[in-house]
Chain A
Amino acid sequence: MKIHQLSLFLENKPSQLTEPCRLLADAGIDIRTLTLADTERFGILRLIVSDWEKGAHLLREAGYVVNVTEVVAVEVPDRPGGLAELLGSFENTGINIEYMYAFTFGHGDTAVLIFRFDNPDAAIERLKSVGISVLGSTEVYQRIEK
């Protein structure tokens, strides 16, 4: 199961982050998690939101360049070695991780990892074959709302 991530181009200047967040907030769209990739010259804001279609439409209307990417969400035990085991399952498969980010929920004993694979379908196959559960979007939201 792949989930949809929104990416926005931001210039590297003060207060660039505020406006898109406010736009989503005003429309009642919840940001589940986000990560900001920044360079000296520009930034890319990546978001998982409660309604990606509405969110993408809204941001595009406001003049942002928005890219919708399919990413994979995986739940791992929140303990030492949890991530290492997961990453180990990709050894010698030729599957490349473009980038990833993680979030924990504060209560509960698992963390959710968001992966951007070069080949998400192959990655999902691999994860299933080693018995690791891949989360759908509703499950991701349920985990967060628990």
Chain B
Amino acid sequence: MLLKISTTHTPTTDLSHLLHKHPEKLQAVELSNGKAHVFYPEATEARCTVALLLDIDPIGLVRNSGRNGDDSFSLGHYVNDRPYVASSFMSVAISKTFSTAMNGTCNKHPELVDRIMPFEVEISVLPAPKGGEILIRKLFEPLGYQVNLERHELDSKFTEWGMSKYFTLNISGNFKLKDLLSHLYVLIPALDNEKHYWVGQHEVEKLLEKGKGWLKDHPEKEQITKRYLKGIGGLTRNALSRLLEGDEMIEKEDSDEGQSDIVKETLHYKRLKVVLDELISSDAKTIVDLGCGEGKLLRMLLREKQFQKVLGVDVSFRELEKASDRLRVQEMAPKQKERIELMQGALTYRDKRLQGFDAAAIVEVIEHLDPNRLKAFERVVFEFAQPKTVVLTTPNREYNDLFENMEAGQMRHADHRFEWTRNEFESWANQVAERNGYKVLLRPIGDVVEKVGAPSQMAVFNLITNE
């Protein structure tokens, strides 16, 4: 909401020259959904401070944002922190208000442009979700700033709610003004991890332009780039490769988040491969993937000629849309398109469309059901849909001990309703088989570690036929 830039450089009037803003006037620039006020709280011979104050219209903000998808249109939307924080609004305000200074032009005093001056910057308030103080320091300190910050509590009356993600930030150091402004322009929205406008290729250009001369050598360039571009993978890769200009792209694995993502990803791939092999060896021709999500397994299934018909079912319509996009269903050749079908369904409702398949894959699905709904799930799959083969996987809770960042009793995903030990899974699988006329084999997925087993576990059910 408020940005203050102070200097003790003398003559202090140099700052106003560089900024092209008269120290004795209150000025305003128009922004989308509001404006920014510029004024000088102090302009003495010893010290000069310029303030940039945002004036965002909270009602207009919501009205004009439109209803992008169903997520954004919720009640919380109307009570929001945007008017009070430093965010991409602040970056826009900086670039609009101080554009000449940022561009390094100063007609009257061109010599000032490259002059290094002592600056002190105060930002009220800066959100830094998923990173906090450590991240703020990691972003500013390598550039040569001294960082002082104050973190605000959520509510002084309810101290048990803990601290908020908001900081009042005070940084200081000796810089050229244009560099300082560029740093703020990029790092404020990177910390905020949000954008008030659509992020596209254009943002990559802006980032590269404002990051010229410093971002390439910044140790946190990946994270800055990723957060600045709202984590959109394609844009981030594009920006990074251009930033490094042909320098060899090294897959850095130093951030915690990235590492666990990679571990998760490889396990999931391994799991899908095992499931695929199992389905291939079952001789199935028609497959239903129950809980297909965005269609990773579907893609693998479609590559196998053996499978003449593949049905992907998920309860989330958005996931199905994603799957359809990823598999490029609309662009498939007619013969190929005939093999694949996607539909919404829930595994706790009997569904005649699920009948008549040779095999069903149910990969990491049951743990998302409340335990008391497993009875319905069992009847829907094994009694009513009754595929000849069912390949079902679920995490092995015992293995969780080996995940360092997991607390005892914690589950691997916030939506998991339970995670089973090998014994629990086996006993459930045996009962299901017994009750429904299947025989079942259990198999670990991933490397088996002594005492705790493999990270995931699989049950392969085969319908017992009279022949």
Do these two chains interact?
no
Interface residues of chain B, those whose CB is within 8 Å of chain A, are: none
